[in-house]
Amino acid sequence: MNDLQELLLDLQSPAIVLELLGLLACLALAWLASWLLGRRATAARSILFGRQLIDGVLFPALAVVFTYGLKLVLLKSQRVPVLKVALPMLVSLVLIRLIARVLAAVFPNSRGARLLEQLVSWLAWGLVVLWVTGLWGPMMDELDGLRFMIGKTQVSVLHVLEVIFTSGFVLVLALWLSATLEERVINRALADLSMRKVAANAIRVLLLVIGTLVTLSSLGFDLTALSVLGGALGVGIGFGLQKLAANYVSGFVILLERSLRIGDFVRVDGFEGRVTDIKTRYTLVRASNGSESVVPNELLLTQRVENLSLESRHLLQTCTFWVGLESDVARVQSLLEQAALSLEWVLALPAPQALLAEVAPQGLRFNVNFWMEDPVNGQSLTRSRVNIAALRAMRAGGVMLVHSPQEVVLRQPS
């Protein structure tokens, strides 16, 4: 009789009613403990408690603990086929929830993270089936018997899979720890968004490196061999990856010097917009029309960049009008200034100014200078509204507009 037949026979026993009731009690107790712990927990709700308590990591983890305790108690008096099936399912649920919540918190909009989550889910439930049916042991023996040579070292497929799974689990824990530190420590300790970004990136890289080294060391790898790899990587960066390395270094320099900050309004290489994010390799700049530009970080350090928000978020704008020579200059100035000041998008301080910029035979040219507070919300739209308001005011005041003078060049045929 194999393990599956023995399990099916045990499930026909009348004693499984006690197991089912005990399992339901363990699940209810796990939900109650999660609810009590999650009432005041808001920062870690996305990973530990999820959105509805039962879709977080804490609920299945507590269910595993309570169910395992129940199994130890019932084993003294009877067989526990139901708990034998329930425990690996709950353990798989813990792993799936842990990986899903960590990836969702660290990479919220990544399609690759969702695909990895689905892959882990199918793999975990497949391992549960192997464990319950008793095929786990024979499959492990077969994988351990499949060996191949790497240089002079003989390696089994089982050992390779252990390295992959252990490394992946340690990396997920490192990402979870970095996300928790970013949410609970960095966001409270640092008010500047750019400094939060550089601190979060540095902590994440440090934890991933430490986790990788610890994993390789625990699995029996000689870490001294990594020095050769590090030397080769340094040579590769020095020759083939110098641009990539320069962009990464430039990203940390920008974040540390704070010459550019997330939210600043900048003009770089003819493109004007607001800095929405500063990555380690590039910076995202979004224009007022919605288009987004990916600017390499090295470009921000080696070329001229106009930071319009470095000292103030206010931006000076100018509108031009041509009126007739017989127009009253003081009246035209008053009409233009009042028209600009009537708009809520125009700052009252400094007040708008209408200046007589040019006197020509064709008419008078006035420039209306005004300040707007947030240029990213629409410079062209604000200028259009000022033009419309000024046009209405001058028409209502009887001021005649004229065509702007144009230069005409006459050339004699050669």
Question: What is the mean pLDDT of the segment spanning 161-177?
Answer: 77
Kindly tell me if the per-residue pLDDT of 397 is higher than 80. Answer: yes
- Residues counted in the chain: 414
Average pLDDT value over all residues in the chain: 76
User: Which residue's structure tokens are 């050669």?
Assistant: 414
d(CA 66, CA 58): 12
Residue 311 pLDDT: 54
Q: What is the pLDDT of residues 325-346, one digit of tens each?
A: 888 889 988 998 888 888 877 8
What is the Cα–Cα distance from 336 to 376, expressed in whole angstroms?
24
Query: Got the DSSP string for 76-121?
Result: TTS--HHHHHHHHHHHHHHHHHHHHHHHHHHSTT-HHHHHHHHHHH
Structure tokens at 192: 């500047």
Widest Cα–Cα separation across the chain: 118
Query: With 0-12 CB in 10 A as exposed, 13-18 as middle and 19+ as buried, what is 257?
Result: exposed
Pick the CATH number of 315-396 from 3.50.50.60, 3.30.365.10, 3.30.70.100, 3.40.50.1820: 3.30.70.100
- pLDDT of amino acid 114: 72
Instruction: Tell me what the mean pLDDT of segment 96-111 comes to.
Output: 72
Number of Cβ within 10 Å of residue 195's Cβ equals 16
Q: Flag whether pLDDT at 379 surpasses 80.
A: no
pLDDT at 326: 86
**For residue 174, what pLDDT is reported?**
78
Model confidence at 1: pLDDT above 50: no
- Enumerate the domain spans of the chain: 3-134, 150-221, 315-396
DSSP category for residue 376: G
| Cα–Cα distance measured from residue 148 to residue 158, given in angstroms and rounded to the nearest whole number | 11
Are β-strands 353-360 and 315-323 bridged in parallel, bridged antiparallel, or unpaired?
Answer: unpaired
22: confidence class by pLDDT, cuts 50, 70, 90 = confident
- What distance, in Å, lies between the first and last C-alpha atoms of the chain? 112
- DSSP string for residues in 238-277: HHTTHHHHHHHHHHHHHHHHTSS-TT-EEEETTEEEEEEE
